[in-house]
Homo-oligomer: A and B are copies of this chain.
Amino acid sequence: MKPDHFEVTPQCTAVNEILSRVGDKWTVLVVSYLGNGAMRFNELRRTISGISQKMLTATLRGLERDGFVTRTVFPTIPPRVEYELTDLGRELLVPVRALGAWAVENHERVIAARNRFDAAHGAMEEPFRPAGHMSEAAE
């Protein structure tokens, strides 16, 4: 008996789709901010600050397409566009934050493991030293 057998069927498609969205560079950040309430485009842009306009647009479009956020246009001048999480988006936030919490809690362990690995493997990383002189001791 497998202790916790995880069905790896075409359902993986579903998991992979969600995970691909969640795992991209900006989605979680955007969704997290939006978790605090509706925000305008440039408000998000300024807050995240590292993101390019193109990526913010793409991220928001993707989230909108998948039903995680709504896009509301106020036909004023200048135009005002607000993004807000849908119910689906808020529900998604629950497991996503759980994972986020796990990440924060266990980050050190991962870093430690990484350093251990790099120390063990990276040390003997010298490509190939042609027999002879060691003029460029490229560090």
Contact = CB atoms under 8 A, between A and B. Distances in A.
Interface stretch (A51-59, A72-80, A103-111): A103-111
Number of copies of this kind of chain in the complex = 2
B8 A19 contact: no
Q: How large is the interface on A (under 10, 10 to 19, 20 to 34, 35 or more residues)?
A: 35 or more
A14 B104 contact: yes
Given A66-B110, A67-B112, A102 B8 contact: no
A88 B25 CA distance: 23
Interface string A27-57: 0110011011100000000010000000000
Contact of A66 (B6, B15, B99, B113): B113
Contacts of A15: 28, 99-100, 103-104
